[in-house]
Amino acid sequence: MIIFNVTAIVDEKIQKEFHHFMHHIYIPAALASHKFHEAKLFKLTEPVNEGVTYCAQCFANSRQELEEFRDEHLPNLQELLMQQFPNQVLFFPSVLELSNPL
């Protein structure tokens, strides 16, 4: 299993709008790509940072599905995020892979 994680540090003034955007636009669009079988939005509670930190995690079965999402769908979602929240959100993408017991 591959997890595409996007950590976002959000200005407190727009956290409700961002939360709504992620649940009603970003996550449904990611799932509609059919490259992920599940997606969740988490709010970071510790450590406490400046702003509000969210982590969106999208679960793919393979690295190929992730790469197809990155090539075919991610640029449009990133552009939409930048248009909706210019200079108000700092994003950090990362990829995690399930580590099974040896």
47 band by pLDDT with thresholds 50, 70 and 90: confident
Burial class (CB in 10 A: 0-12, 13-18, 19+), 16: exposed
- Going from the N-terminus, what domains does the chain have, and what CATH number goes with each? 2-97 (3.30.70.100)
Judged against a pLDDT cut of 90, whether residue 48 lies above it is answered with: no
Percentage above 70 pLDDT, the chain = 100
* Residue 55 · residue 3 · CB < 8 Å: no
63 band by pLDDT with thresholds 50, 70 and 90: very high
* Residue 20 · residue 41 · CB < 8 Å: no
* Residue 2 · residue 63 · CB < 8 Å: yes
* Residue 90 · residue 6 · CB < 8 Å: no
> One-letter amino acid identity for 1?
M
DSSP string over 6-53: EEEEE-GGGHHHHHHHIIIIIHHHHHHTTS-SEEEEEE--SS--SSEE
Q: What is the mean pLDDT of residues 31-50?
A: 94
